[in-house]
Amino acid sequence: MGFTAKYTCRALLLAASLVASPVVFAHAHLKHQYPAADANVTAAPQALTLNFSEGIEPKFSGVKITGSQQQTVKTGVVKRNDNDKTQLIVPIEQALKPDQYTVEWHVVSVDGHKTQGSYRFSVK
């Protein structure tokens, strides 16, 4: 039985999909955060905690917090939890007043892939 062009093309497509599949899943996705997305908290947090699906590189990652009037909230140096490479900690250096806040984040996973996203929470 000889190889036909149709068979060869299918084999190449299958091989390409098997090679590319791990790349699709190799991005750090935000799994959960504190304060939680859409949460209404009564006590202003002193730090944000973001947990991702895989390890992240804090030197290439960052977070921006803004209030409803687009005022930027001062934050400290973003750190990775020493015991959990998937957890990013963002110290908040000024007291959050009652308002709705938007958190915009970008991270680079340990394998070099970049992801970004945003969510909101409110302080009562």
**pLDDT tens string 45-101:** 999 999 999 999 999 999 999 999 999 999 999 999 999 999 999 999 999 999 999
Domain contains 47: yes
* pLDDT tens profile 31-43: 999 999 999 999 9
Q: Is 100 exposed, middle or buried (0-12, 13-18, 19+ CB in 10 A)?
A: middle
75 neighbors 96 (Cβ within 8 angstroms): no
Quote the domain boundaries for residue 117.
26-123
How many domains is the chain partitioned into structurally? 1
Domain contains 14: no
Tell me the C-alpha distance between 41 and 96, whole Å. Answer: 11
Q: Which CATH number belongs to the domain containing residue 33 in this structure?
A: 2.60.40.1220
106 neighbors 116 (Cβ within 8 angstroms): yes
Domain contains 52: yes
| Overall pTM > 0.75 | yes
Domain contains 5: no
Domain contains 6: no
Alpha-carbon distances of 106 from 1, 20, 29, 88, rounded to whole Å: 53, 23, 10, 11
Q: What is the DSSP letter of 96?
A: P
Domain contains 104: yes
Domain contains 21: no
